[in-house]
Amino acid sequence: MRREYKILLIVFGSLFGVFLIAIVALVVFVAHYGPEIAKSATDPVAAKRTAEKIATFDLPKGYHIGSAMDLKFSQLVSIVPNGRDDGGFQIQLQATMTPSSSDSQFAGTRAGLGLVSKFVHCDLKDGGTDDIVVRGVTVKLNVLQCTGTGPHMRVETGTFPGNAPNATVSAMGIEGEGFDEKALRELLRSVR
């Protein structure tokens, strides 16, 4: 067998071994933590505990925690208007182990929304920034707007000081159909 083929077999064999180890680790993780993750998504008490890992805050009037997920290395909470779990307007709070800045979060959101904008036929544009004080720290909220022939979507993102070292917020909705900027600011001002 030629030397090049042996090298290829070693490389692909090693990659296949790493891939198998990753699959086994994923199966073990899901088997061990799966029931707890599912409970945090549906149980209101567990959802509140997950939210507290991200930040201590008061829900805006007329809102509730729609869903929550605690993956141990990342927590996600979705806050939605009462009686409206249809995905219209929502505020998402997230905590990760990976450090994030408002600018890096904005770049990721912009890239994701840029891809989506091609499918929903809208023109993506920066809507500027808006500052809000959270726990004595000025937080920069970046605004993205998607306008054109499709729905006029608005997304506001930012990184804020919470209970987790890397707490982020994203608010998403259709402009003119319930994007609740007041609720977003009320929630952020209540963080303690």
pLDDT score of 6: 66
pTM over 0.85: no
Please indicate, yes or no, if residue 30 is contained in any of the structural domains. Answer: no
Which pLDDT does position 57 carry in this prediction?
A: 96
Under the banding of pLDDT at 50, 70 and 90, the label for residue 145 is confident
| In-domain check, residue 176 | yes
Question: Is 180 among the domain residues?
Answer: yes
What CATH number is attached to the domain comprising 93?
3.40.1000
C-alpha 117/C-alpha 99 separation (Å) is 27
For residue 77, being part of any structural domain is answered with yes
- Express each pLDDT in 6-27 by its tens digit: 666 666 667 667 766 777 766 6
Supply the DSSP symbol for 119: H
Across the range 68-95, mean pLDDT stands at: 84
Domain membership flag for residue 28:
no
54 DSSP β-pair partners:
none
Return the pLDDT at 26: 66
Q: How many domains does the chain have?
A: 1
Is 32 domain-assigned? no
For residue 46, pLDDT beyond 90: no
**Residue 74, domain member (yes or no):** yes
Whether the CB-CB separation of 144 and 171 falls below 8 Å is answered with no
Mean pLDDT across the chain, nearest whole number?
79
pLDDT score of 71: 81
Cα(186)–Cα(66) distance, rounded to whole angstroms? 18
Q: At what angle do helices 44-54 and 3-42 cross, to 10 degrees?
A: 120
pLDDT of residue 53: 93
Parent domain of 52: 43-189
Structure confidence at residue 189 as a pLDDT band (50, 70, 90): very high
